[in-house]
Amino acid sequence: MSASALLLEIKGNALDDGPGIRSVVFFKGCVLSCVWCHNPESISRQAEISFDRLQCVGALECIQSCPEGALSRDDPQFIDRDKCTLCFECVEPCPSAALTRVGEEVSIDAVFEKLMKYKPFYDSSGGGVTLSGGEPTAQMEFASRLLERLQAAGVHTLVQTCGLFPYDGFMEGLYPHLDLIYFDLKIFDREDHRRRCGAANDMILENFSRLQQEYEKGGVEVLARTPLIPGMTSEATNLEGIAGFLREQGVSRAQLMEYNPIWHDKCERLGNPIAGQEDPLRQWMPREEFEQCRAIFSDHGLELV
């Protein structure tokens, strides 16, 4: 039985990850590798080290503490990732927290106890706990046990998923303990999905169809969500495909998520700088373009939430 999981953080007082005031448990590790991932620090299934150049005050303690000599002011990235063994000896001596560990193994008891401290806020606002990531279903056993304990304690539960998971395992482990599912549908074309997200979408579409059928029989509500990425998911042909698919499944409500370009900075802190400071993906999506995307879904009879 999995008694711990690799997590990024537990965020409290969240207002955009489900109904009411919520706590969000961010799992580390994802089965997809979307080129625009808004949380690139969540993709790898192992702990990483982040360096924020803007926070650095030029102290030498971190350099002196590295047993591999992987840190150098002469290195444009500061960290030689080929030398770094992820021992994290440099993190604690850093006086400005410019160096941070990304990902910690946390016990299920510790997570549950922390979440339950906020139960009065869940109860008063109609909120609860959301499992996000990364991909929570990639650590299915831990997620299942946590949701079961939360449900038994009377906490509203929600999972945000990319949809790429073994259906039977999901239905057995997570589904009985869920009140709501947020299900991402990013790219409708199979090969385009493989190229931009790292895997084909056959299982994703099938899982959504089966979960929607369960909902129509009185099961857990599934909300389809599409992140709007300029020149990728926001293309009219893609949105037409997703909207048409949703209507074929009998779906009446969906969500379009506005683009957020801050992922570029996160990539740079992890040692994966994105070339091209003038890249259009570094800009917020113009409001007019966002409304055009909404119109496509609305024209298909989808209520946008």
Contact yes or no for 272/40 (Cβ under 8 A): yes
Q: What does the alpha-carbon distance between residue 295 and residue 114 come to, in Å, rounded to a whole number?
A: 42
* Same domain? 28 vs 73: no
Q: What pLDDT shows up at residue 169?
A: 98
Per-residue pLDDT tens digits for 196-217: 999 999 999 999 999 999 999 9
Q: pLDDT under 70 in the chain at which residues?
A: 1-2, 274-280
Residues 235 and 168 in one domain: yes
Same structural domain, 70 and 20: no
Angle subtended by helix axes 287-299 and 236-248, to nearest 10: 30
Looking at the fold, whether 119 and 261 belong to one and the same domain comes out as yes
Same domain, 244 and 270: yes
Task: Report phi then psi at 159, rounded to 5.
Answer: -120, 135
The CATH number that applies at residue 269 is 3.20.20.70
What is the residue-wise DSSP string for the chain? Answer: ---EEEEEEEEEEESSSSSSSEEEEEE---S---TT-S-GGGTSSS-EEEE-GGG----SHHHHH-TT--B-TTSTTSB-TTT-----TTTTT-TTS-EEEE-EEEEHHHHHHHHHTTHHHHHHHT-EEEEESS-GGGGHHHHHHHHHHHHHTT-EEEEEE-S-S-HHHHHHHTGGG-SEEEEE----SHHHHHHHHSS-SHHHHHHHHHHHHHHHTT--EEEEEEE--TTTTTSHHHHHHHHHHHHHTT--EEEEEPP-TTHHHHHHHTT-PPS-TT-GGGSPPPHHHHHHHHHHHHHTTPEE-
Looking at the structure, tell me whether residues 90 and 133 fall in a common domain: no
Q: Are residues 141 and 270 in the same domain?
A: yes
Compute the distance between CA of residue 183 and CA of residue 245 in angstroms, rounded to an integer.
14
pLDDT recorded at residue 278: 47
Tell whether 177 and 31 lie within a shared domain. Answer: yes
Q: What is the pLDDT of residue 38?
A: 87
pTM of the model: 0.94
| Residues 223/255, Cβ–Cβ less than 8 Å | yes
pLDDT one-digit tens code per residue, 132-177: 999 999 999 999 999 999 999 999 999 999 999 999 999 999 999 9
Residues 219 and 85 in one domain: no
CA distance 272 to 275: 9
Which of 11, 10, 13, 17 is closest to 182 using CA atoms?
17
Domain extent, residue 11, equals 4-46+105-304
Cα(225)–Cα(160) distance, rounded to whole angstroms? 10
Same domain? 23 vs 120: yes
**CATH of residue 62:** 3.30.70.20
Check whether the bond before 134 is cis (ω within 30° of 0). Answer: yes
- Confidence (pLDDT) at 261: 81
- The total of structural domains in the chain comes to 2
Q: Are residues 239 and 141 in the same domain?
A: yes
Looking at residue 274, what is its pLDDT?
A: 67
Based on the domain organization, do 178 and 74 belong to the same domain?
Answer: no
Residue of 145, 225, 144 whose CA lies nearest to 181: 225
